[in-house]
Chain A
């Protein structure tokens, strides 16, 4: 792989900032909307975790596969899905990718962009993702599958079953753990006997990497290395990105179990600020944030005017 030129590096940094800003704008917009208007479903906000989502996806090819985790829309937005589609799924509109069956943090999907969904039962993507890796091996399509998951779902037995065989079969996978320190109400120290979830990689003989999840560039670099390894046929990598949970498990969760509640919407160690410090010019950053806010607001207005799913939606799509 050729080393990118300075101009290319600057362009990449701006593209990364743009996606961070777009994800943040949607997060804040949804927060305000739900606070004011209420909401029929459950929304699991990803505020503060944008650095992991945008950073990791920036290291993927357009045709690489992705299973997202349940906090936010950032993964799919960064992978190229339109905010209109994503919000339409969130609001149960027919213009969403699941045609009106959505509502709340949903199962948006876009096979053309490799977006394959998430398990409603969290942690189930480990075994599904491994199977996608087998397809890539059999078809020789050179694609890599990124599987996002939280520290909570790292406890699932599916992790062990998938990691064991994926490592033996050298499947082209990258596991990205967004460790935000909380499995709903249980802090990480009560979930894990070791400081790092990435330490578990050693049991499967695969690399385990800890990275600062607030630094999107660091996440991108760690992911790029893992992706290159996977694509070269050397097997999976476990990346643990340390991040923060700002909001509750779902919007409306008062977090009474938590002593370190972060008041308001300020993000400590904000991934946007960190990227500005890494060299995004302030004027450019301001402009990208403004564009992102406008994009999010326009998307919301377009979606609110759409038709919702109806009786016909209910019986569609059981069989091919």
Chain B
């Protein structure tokens, strides 16, 4: 077995989404000694999903700290460290565990700069493996990004490709504000081209146009981006052209790109893996109608997870979140209105 090492991106290389996250962390830790990481099993094991593999070997136990099973400590200590001159990238094993550290995430991370009149800042990233994985159950499968949108002071990132996973994480680490970084654990092995430029940064608040089309704007995040693209290819065979936009960051949210698209297509469908009720789509749909009401030829629709917990059965869990079949069906109905 070869030695475990952190990722160094070679020019023109295709990398998995998880390896792209690893590369971003390794590059930023090489660039800036103040950057460090903590979490359960992030050290010798390299993380339960293997995302931090090799960092412990390269950067040592001081900068890659295994904690015990203590989420309030993981996030709270990261905040304290961020207040005092270092830049922690904290990992919770599952995004769901944010609630265990609710005070630390939604009060300390989000509010401590504001509460203290701008005299403190919280330059940190909280990595949150999100979404369904196949059988991990109701308390390990949720998509909770809307919570981040609901607490002013947090930035919210959801990469959908390996390149974005790298570029957005590097931007998050360099951002002087606190960032919730939702990485989809069902996409860790998805491969794609990843730039090797150590200063490859994707700015926050710039949506990506994943596919151009004239009939319907689909705003999709995370795992729903590939599903929306699959739906678009199938509909194109019938002459229906979807425009697929991936906001990439929900805070800040690039409404300008979304609204411009809706003004061209006259129709909008928002798709996410989060529960439909009060999910991110509710906010996006509301803003679309506020800004583009007179361009709309149909109501703005939302596709999200059912209003149920996620069942543990891998087959049943797929019935809870939107499928590409459902996106196809919703799009057909919407363009017919």
- A residues contacting B by CB (< 8 A) are 65, 96-101, 107, 109-111, 116-117, 119-121, 124, 126-139, 141, 157-158, 161-162, 164-165, 168-169, 316-320
- B residues contacting A by CB (< 8 A) are 34, 36, 38, 62-63, 65, 67-68, 70, 72-73, 75-86, 88, 103-104, 107-108, 112-121, 123, 152-153, 176-177
Residues of B within 8 A of A161 (CB): 70, 72-73, 76
Cross-chain contact B152 with A135 (CB below 8 angstroms): no
Closest B residue to A320 using CB positions: B176
Contacts known (A161-B72, A165-B70); A131 close to B116, Cβ less than 8 A = no
Cross-chain contact A130 with B73 (CB below 8 angstroms): yes
Centre residue among B34, B67, B103, B117 by max chain A CB count within 10 A = B117
Cross-chain contact A131 with B34 (CB below 8 angstroms): no
Of the residues B65, B72, B119, contact of A109 by C-beta under 8 Å: B119
Cross-chain contact B83 with A317 (CB below 8 angstroms): no
Closest B residue to A138 using CB positions: B86
Residues of A within 8 A of B62 (CB): 137-138
Q: In the docked arrangement, what's the CA distance between A128 and B117, Å?
A: 18
Contacts known (A65-B84, A121-B107, A320-B177); A165 close to B73, Cβ less than 8 A = yes
Expressed in whole angstroms, the minimum distance between the Cβ of B56 and any Cβ of chain A is: 15
Cross-chain contact A138 with B72 (CB below 8 angstroms): no
Cross-chain contact A124 with B70 (CB below 8 angstroms): no
Cross-chain contact B72 with A127 (CB below 8 angstroms): yes
Q: In the docked arrangement, what's the CA distance between A134 and B112, Å?
A: 19
Cross-chain contact B107 with A138 (CB below 8 angstroms): no
Residues of A within 8 A of B80 (CB): 116, 127-135
Expressed in whole angstroms, the minimum distance between the Cβ of A156 and any Cβ of chain B is: 9
Residues of A within 8 A of B65 (CB): 134, 169
Q: In the docked arrangement, what's the CA distance between A111 and B80, Å?
A: 12
Cross-chain contact B153 with A121 (CB below 8 angstroms): no
Cross-chain contact A318 with B86 (CB below 8 angstroms): no
Expressed in whole angstroms, the minimum distance between the Cβ of B154 and any Cβ of chain A is: 10
Cross-chain contact B107 with A128 (CB below 8 angstroms): no
Residues of A within 8 A of B114 (CB): 101, 317-318
Residues of A within 8 A of B77 (CB): 127-128, 130-131, 134, 162, 165
Cross-chain contact B117 with A138 (CB below 8 angstroms): no
Cross-chain contact B115 with A98 (CB below 8 angstroms): yes
Expressed in whole angstroms, the minimum distance between the Cβ of A144 and any Cβ of chain B is: 12
Closest A residue to B84 using CB positions: A135
Contacts known (A157-B72, A164-B70, A316-B117); A135 close to B108, Cβ less than 8 A = no
Expressed in whole angstroms, the minimum distance between the Cβ of A221 and any Cβ of chain B is: 27
Residues of B within 8 A of A65 (CB): 84
Cross-chain contact B115 with A120 (CB below 8 angstroms): yes
Q: In the docked arrangement, what's the CA distance between A116 and B119, Å?
A: 10
> What 10 pairs between A and B have smallest CB-CB spacing?
A127-B76, A131-B80, A131-B77, A98-B117, A317-B118, A128-B80, A99-B117, A131-B81, A320-B176, A161-B73
Expressed in whole angstroms, the minimum distance between the Cβ of A106 and any Cβ of chain B is: 9
Closest B residue to A120 using CB positions: B107
Of the residues A111, A130, A139, contact of B76 by C-beta under 8 Å: A130
Cross-chain contact A98 with B116 (CB below 8 angstroms): yes
Expressed in whole angstroms, the minimum distance between the Cβ of B73 and any Cβ of chain A is: 4
Q: In the docked arrangement, what's the CA distance between A126 and B72, Å?
A: 10
Cross-chain contact A98 with B76 (CB below 8 angstroms): no
Q: In the docked arrangement, what's the CA distance between A129 and B238, Å?
A: 61
Residues of A within 8 A of B153 (CB): 318-319
Cross-chain contact B84 with A107 (CB below 8 angstroms): no
Q: In the docked arrangement, what's the CA distance between A291 and B76, Å?
A: 41
Q: In the docked arrangement, what's the CA distance between A162 and B82, Å?
A: 16
Cross-chain contact A127 with B104 (CB below 8 angstroms): yes
Q: 9 additional contacts, CB 8 Å, given A134-B65, A138-B34, A158-B72?
A: A98-B115, A126-B76, A128-B77, A131-B76, A131-B80, A131-B83, A134-B38, A134-B88, A139-B85
